[in-house]
Every structure is written in C-alpha cells, then in structure tokens.
Amino acid sequence: MRTQIELITPIITEGVRHLDDVKPLERADLSVSHTLIQQGPASIESEFDEALSVPDTIRKAIDAERRGANAIIIDCMGDPGLQACREAVTVPVLGPCQTALHTAGLLGHGFAFVTVLERLRSLVGKLVAAYGLKDSYASFRAVDIPVLDISHDLASLSAALAREAIAAVRDDHADVIVLGCTGFLGCAGAIRKALLSQGLDVPVIDPIPLAVHMADALVKTGLSHSKLTYPPPGRKALQGYSFPEFSPVASH
C-alpha cells in the first residue's frame, strides 16, 4: 500500500519549508506533498498567530483529503487547528507536537522542550497540559531566535540548541529532548552528537520525521482518529468563510 501524506505549513511565508526537506523520508511506498496557507500569519509565535492560521489550515486539510491524501500533518509545533481538522476530514491528522510529546513518554520519564522564543513558554505549557503530560514535562528552554531567522545560520542555531539541550539534561534532569519547532528539521543529529560528547546519552526528537513515519504507520495499519471524539461539524450558516461542505443544504 502506498501512503500519500500532505504536509500543511500553516503560514504564508514561502521558502520556510521545501519538499527537499522531506525528500529523504520518502520511499517507494511513501510520498509527501506540501502546501502553504494563503490566508494567515507570516510565522507562528503566539496564540494570536495561531488563531489567524486556523481557518485556511482547515481548508487545506479538506482539499488534501479530496485530492487523495491518506494522512495530513500540520507543520507547526503549536498544532494549530489540529482538533478542528480532525472533525473536518476522515483521514489521520497529526500534530507534530502531540506526536513528539507522547513519543517522548515512550523513551524516557521527563522531556525538555527546546524551542525558538521565551514568549512561547505559556503556549507550550498549555499544550503539555492539554495532552495530559504535565508530570513528564521536565523543562522549557528557548534559544531566542525568531522563526523567520532560523535558516540564516544553521551552525549557530545547532550550537545554541545543543547548549540548551545539555543544560536541560544536566540542570533540569530531562532524559529526552524534544525540538520545539518544525523549522529545526535536520538539527537533531548535531544536538545528539553534542550531548554524547558530554557523556549524555539521551534521545533527541525531530518532530517532522517522526510525524511522517507515525502517519505512515497509522495509514498502513488502517487507523484514524475516532469520530466519536471528532464528529463532523454540523451544517449552519457561516459568514465570511467558504466551507460549502458544512453550509446548510439548499432546499428545492
């Protein structure tokens, strides 16, 4: 069975994600396509940004399922629109944050979330609580590099992430590192190497590769989210949004 995964990047900035980024994850039976939203923020660094990104993320998820996608991944560690997309489509929809955090629980007892900006501390704490993982949350650490600046100097970024990861293990007693931005794709190897050089043998979770392989596993085992938890939206009047799938059926 061939799996087609749609990666939806819920921002409008072109060039932040390229298909070349995920090409190494593809196989003969697994392919990944990609889309950006057209209406929303340039980057997601706040609850405000997340809220603006959700409507078109839902639209892209519906469109992806119609085009034949077997699974959908929302390319942001805030998992914006995750629950709503699960209501709107029937194929599996994965949030890289939820996937990474629950996997961290399989690999250790306490994870550190290492991300871009300190201002995200509250947002991440809310996600951890919502996913029922407060008891496994060792610490939050940030490198204070805005999302749109991540690609400017990958060597410096990796070094900063490694410093925070080492401190999280030594000072916060974390035994798993979760990279807290999907823009950190490809940095995990350097961070893992830096940890090992300090005698710290802990796993480093790169969220996008993990989400891709998890989505593939769900598809190949015939699993998707429960429609008791995520029932389709009811049909009602919607002003300012184009969702004919959920608008009232015209009477004749």
CATH number at residue 125: 3.40.50.12500
* pLDDT digit string, tens, across residues 124-147: 999 999 999 999 999 999 999 888
- 139 and 223 both lie in a single domain: no
d(CA 65, CA 67): 5
In a domain, 252, yes or no: no
Closest CA to 148 of 119, 191, 190, 183: 183
- 200 and 214 both lie in a single domain: no
Q: What is the mean pLDDT of residues 16-45?
A: 93
Q: Residue 250: what pLDDT?
A: 53
* pLDDT digit string, tens, across residues 63-74: 999 999 999 999
In the DSSP assignment, the letter for residue 150 is G
- 89 and 214 both lie in a single domain: yes
Q: Residue 252: what pLDDT?
A: 46
pLDDT of 159 over the 60 cut: yes
Q: What is the mean pLDDT of residues 32-43?
A: 96
Per the model's pLDDT, the better-predicted residue between 20 and 126 turns out to be 126
In a domain, 127, yes or no: yes
Type of residue numbered 231 = P
pLDDT of 155 over the 60 cut: yes
- Burial class of 5 by CB neighbour count within 10 A (0 to 12, 13 to 18, 19+): buried
pLDDT of 92 over the 90 cut: yes
* pLDDT digit string, tens, across residues 184-226: 998 999 999 999 999 999 999 999 999 999 999 999 999 999 9
Number of domains in the chain: 2
- 72 and 121 both lie in a single domain: no
Task: Report the percent of the chain where pLDDT is more than 70.
Answer: 98
Phi and psi at residue 119, to the nearest 5°: -65, -15
pLDDT tier for residue 44 given thresholds of 50, 70 and 90: very high
Q: Supply the range of the domain harboring residue 101.
A: 97-208
